Structure 1
Amino acid sequence: MFKKNNKSQKNPRRFKLLTLVITAFIALLIGGAGVFAFMNQRLQAAVQTNRSMGKIEAVYSALYSNYYKKVSRQKLENGALSGMVNALGDPFSEYMSKTETESLNNTISSSFTGVGAEVRKNGSHIEIIAPIDNTPAKKAGLKANDIIEEIDGKSMTGVSLSKAVSLIRGKKGTKVTLKIRRSDETFTKVLTRAKIPVKTVTGHLDKDHKTVGYIQVSTFSEKTAAEFKSEIKKLRKQGAKSFVIDMRDNPGGLMDQALKMSSMFVKNGKTILQVQPRDQAAQIYKAGKEYDGGFKVNEKTVVLINGGSASAAEIFSAALNQSANIKLIGTKSFGKGTVQNTLPFNDKTELKMTIAKWLTPDGSWIHHKGLQPNIKADFPSYVYQTAIDTKKTYQLGEVSGQIKKVQTLLTALDYNPGKENGYFSQETADALKKFQADNKLDQSSKADKNTVEKLEELAASKAANSDNAYKTAVKQVTQN
């Protein structure tokens, strides 16, 4: 996302009808037919704008003066501005209040308190793009495409994105309750707000392959490119001869950071990005010293992506894939192919607006399509299972979708529950009793709250060691 520092003027220059008529007449006199056509077009546009603004002013005045109860000018102004932006139907464009503007700026500088989930407006719903690693949202198991139905009991249907974000964020240590819908199931998570990590890049050498450097990028903020370069240098000193770059669950951020990082891997002069504004030819961005400062990464590299990789993370991944022949491993990315800019006002509010499409080096627009990995690999399927409802205890003879989830986790942990069909069979009861005995739980053969929570805890732990995408990546960079 681009962010400009221009301030709006208190008294913007308006086209005067008389001035335009005179100008058009002068153009006609000097014989400029093309100029006349251009000025006539401007005149018509100005007339239409005047009509629209007149109608808006009339509605504003009528509501302020004649509505049955008093309404503030600020409320009407904000409503008019938000209404115009909402009419676009673009989840990435919005008019932001002073508080919401501050929240966005904090996000860009990676210094905010919340739960650590990047969200967007999708129709009338608030949808998670991706949880940021090592945050309450990630630890609670929230995932890309989860719908936030309620925040602290308040329905989010039809609520603005900025309002939802302001409700999620809050003072460090306070709790927020999110009702989540994933596919056709709903569940509730209580999260404790925390300071979201300022450092956006972390890395280490692979424990089994000491020449493989692993680098995870959680988001693209003001210092991400510098942090990334520093991490590369550090891992090189430790012995890294190849790199696995993890862009999974990275919701994106600042485009200039993606350009700087992409250029490090791409030969000078090769395209890393195209940006196409309305009715204009695409602007081509090419790798070079102006972005990477002469710092290049020539070691063998692969990039990990998934459904939570969006925006700047996709720019980086596409550039490396198409212009440096670096393989993408994982699952299809999110698919956000637009560029936003902000227009700040003197009262510290801002208009965030989509100004262009961005295209991959080969000219593809991945909006709503995403990037396809060269090699598909993922965690085991049970990782994407929704949380089991612990308000009930499940026992022999019952049938439900929740029981099927219990059976799935028992199978994942190498206990044999029989068929995973949702029927609580004797085999399921026996497997559950053995699990309870192994973990020093009450051997009731029933799936109570304590048993279910232990099942989920151990399954999550096992999943962390079942990262098939990462294992595939390491194999790619270590093979000759």
Structure 2
Amino acid sequence: MSDRLTAARLPPLLIALSLLVVLAGCNRVSAVATEPIPPGDQLPAELGPVAEAYRILLDDHVDHEVLEPGNLSAGAIRGMLAALDDPHASYLTAEQHSRDQEGYRGYFEGIGAQVTLTEAGLTVIAPIPGAPAEEAGIRAGDLILSVDGQDIEGLTLVESVNLIRGPGGTEVTLLVRHVGEFEDASITVTRGRIPIESTAFRMLEDGIGHLWIYSFSNTTEEEVRRAMDELEAAGGRGLILDLRNNPGGLLASVISVTDLFLDSGTILYEIDADGDRNDYEAVRRGPATDVPLVVIVNQFSASASEIMAGAIQTSGRAIVVGSSTFGKGSVNIARELSDGSAIYFTIRRWYLSDGTQIEGEGVTPDIEIEAEAHPLPIEFEQDVALKRAFEVLDEQIAVR
């Protein structure tokens, strides 16, 4: 083996190889790769050709003297992730992984838009209310075609996101295609520091509260409890729970928040790579279990918001109004490698208590509303779904 193939250069690739072999079913893997994985001879035999190819390229490629081993390692990892047929799998460089962790600090720097990768391309689930993206004219449902003139077709979700994100005060130009339009628009956004907000609450007329949950973070349960206190103090008769344009968030958060509205039963269960099942139950009587309730969703309600809407619907707790949700029902994690880079992939899928798989299916509302796609919130009189939810809730309260 070439002396270029040193242990110092190998760990990121070897850790990734070992993690992916474990993912295939050999053993259960720990949450974080904390110890270097021994190189070369301790890898499974079927992965030997990867090391051979690496050595041959470094020895014999016409440009072998200027080949960058780190680029070869990253390319090999990307190739393995692509072979998984996992739409959420990505490789993050050390810089990208560090930037990806910003959300845990309570803010991040960028344009403030939640995006995902669909068959059509990089799609905006929702701009964060009040963030630079929304102010510049980015809308839910927009397709992002290029970033600063770079075509992003074929890039992974994480690679695309990391092109868009950057230090506050800098500019990024996006070529976007708005929903229902044929002409592409070039939009320049000045990045900012985006606080991670979670909810907004207001009282509508006739004692009806409107609680919009933007996402599920570490503070969401506390925010929802405060909203319920406000509803009670205002003499509220019922609550509209709005999950539109909610891209998801932390699993622990959505479990704790959903538990505020259910007094018993299974919130969801998940199946891991070994086929093992783990159930999450409503275990306490929260402050909102008896409040008359209607839930609103739309096609941009994704992931954790689909869990909450689906759990409330299947339990019979409340009627769901709106349009079918996005259909993203899986647990995806980043596992850090020895050089600070990381691999991001799916480890579990979510199911509702009746066996409905969220991934690729979503939640179908009890009352379907075809509403024009537009930034939220808008005035009550123009909000078709909100008005219908209000009517349904008012009728429920009248017959109680």
Gaps in structure 1 of 5+ consecutive residues: 17-45, 385-458
Moved more, 232-241 or 136-145: 136-145
Give the whole-Å Cα distance in 2 for the aligned partners of 1:284 and 1:467: 36
Residue in 1 aligned with 2:243?
247
Residue in 1 aligned with 2:394?
478
Residue in 2 aligned with 1:339?
331
Gaps in structure 2 of 5+ consecutive residues: 1-29
Decide whether aligned partners of structure 1 residues 284 and 13 sit closer, same or farther in structure 2, where only a CA change above 3 A counts. farther
Contact 1:273/1:358, CA 8 A, preserved across alignment: yes
- The residue type equivalent to 1:332 in the other structure is S
Residue in 1 aligned with 2:267?
272
- The residue type equivalent to 1:54 in the other structure is G
1:68 aligns with 2:94: no
* Counterpart among 281, 286, 311 of residue 281 in structure 2: 286
Give the whole-Å Cα distance in 1 for the aligned partners of 2:332 and 2:258: 19
SS at match of 2:315: helix
* Counterpart among 135, 146, 149 of residue 131 in structure 2: 135
Residue in 2 aligned with 1:190?
188
Contact 1:132/1:250, CA 8 A, preserved across alignment: no
1:59 aligns with 2:53: yes
Residue in 1 aligned with 2:35?
9
Give the whole-Å Cα distance in 2 for the aligned partners of 1:223 and 1:66: 55
SS at match of 2:324: coil
Contact 2:213/2:243, CA 8 A, preserved across alignment: yes
Moved more, 247-256 or 294-303: 294-303
Q: 1:274-331: per-residue Cα shift (whole Å, max 9, x none)?
A: 1012352432211014xx8x55432011111101100001001101111143111111
Give the whole-Å Cα distance in 2 for the aligned partners of 1:478 and 1:66: 75
Give the whole-Å Cα distance in 2 for the aligned partners of 1:333 and 1:461: 18
Q: Percent identity?
A: 28
Give the whole-Å Cα distance in 2 for the aligned partners of 1:253 and 1:157: 26
* Counterpart among 184, 198, 201 of residue 200 in structure 1: 198
- The residue type equivalent to 2:280 in the other structure is Y
Which structure 1 residue ranges, 4+ long, deviate > 6 Å from structure 2? 13-16, 459-464
Decide whether aligned partners of structure 1 residues 233 and 98 sit closer, same or farther in structure 2, where only a CA change above 3 A counts. farther
Contact 1:124/1:157, CA 8 A, preserved across alignment: no
Matches within 5 A, 1:295-444: 295-379=287-371, 381=372, 383=373
Decide whether aligned partners of structure 1 residues 342 and 224 sit closer, same or farther in structure 2, where only a CA change above 3 A counts. same
Contact 1:130/1:309, CA 8 A, preserved across alignment: no
Contact 1:277/1:357, CA 8 A, preserved across alignment: yes
Corresponding residue pairs, total? 363
Give the whole-Å Cα distance in 1 for the aligned partners of 2:380 and 2:164: 27
Matches within 5 A, 1:129-278: 129-181=125-177, 182=179, 185=182, 186-206=184-204, 208-209=205-206, 211-268=207-264, 270-278=265-273
Using the TM superposition, give the Cα deviation of residue 109 of structure 1 relative to its aligned residue in structure 2, in angstroms.
Answer: 4.8
Residue in 1 aligned with 2:94?
98
Q: 1:351-371: per-residue Cα shift (whole Å, max 9, x none)?
A: 222012111121111322221
Q: 1:146-187: per-residue Cα shift (whole Å, max 9, x none)?
A: 321111111111123222112211222332211113467222
Using the TM superposition, give the Cα deviation of residue 332 of structure 1 relative to its aligned residue in structure 2, in angstroms.
Answer: 1.2
Give the whole-Å Cα distance in 1 for the aligned partners of 2:176 and 2:82: 24
SS at match of 2:54: helix
Contact 1:124/1:158, CA 8 A, preserved across alignment: no
Using the TM superposition, give the Cα deviation of residue 115 of structure 1 relative to its aligned residue in structure 2, in angstroms.
Answer: 1.6
Residue in 2 aligned with 1:40?
none
Matches within 5 A, 1:456-475: 465-475=381-391
TM-score (norm: length of structure 2): 0.82
Report which structure shows greater RCO (CA 8 Å, sep ≥6). Answer: 2
Decide whether aligned partners of structure 1 residues 142 and 196 sit closer, same or farther in structure 2, where only a CA change above 3 A counts. same
Contact 1:144/1:307, CA 8 A, preserved across alignment: no
Give the whole-Å Cα distance in 2 for the aligned partners of 1:477 and 1:203: 17
Q: 1:34-70: per-residue Cα shift (whole Å, max 9, x none)?
A: xxxxxxxxxxxx8xx313x211001111222333331
Decide whether aligned partners of structure 1 residues 184 and 473 sit closer, same or farther in structure 2, where only a CA change above 3 A counts. closer
- The residue type equivalent to 1:65 in the other structure is D
SS at match of 1:102: helix
Give the whole-Å Cα distance in 1 for the aligned partners of 2:244 and 2:99: 24
Q: Which has the larger radius of gyration?
A: 1
SS at match of 1:130: strand
SS at match of 1:112: strand
Moved more, 142-151 or 466-475: 142-151
SS at match of 2:59: helix
Using the TM superposition, give the Cα deviation of residue 243 of structure 1 relative to its aligned residue in structure 2, in angstroms.
Answer: 1.2
SS at match of 1:74: helix
SS at match of 2:349: strand
- The residue type equivalent to 1:469 in the other structure is A
Contact 2:214/2:243, CA 8 A, preserved across alignment: yes
Residue in 2 aligned with 1:78?
74
Decide whether aligned partners of structure 1 residues 15 and 175 sit closer, same or farther in structure 2, where only a CA change above 3 A counts. closer
- The residue type equivalent to 1:466 in the other structure is Q
Moved more, 119-128 or 303-312: 119-128
Q: 1:73-111: per-residue Cα shift (whole Å, max 9, x none)?
A: 221111111221122232212222222222332235541
Give the whole-Å Cα distance in 2 for the aligned partners of 1:15 and 1:124: 43
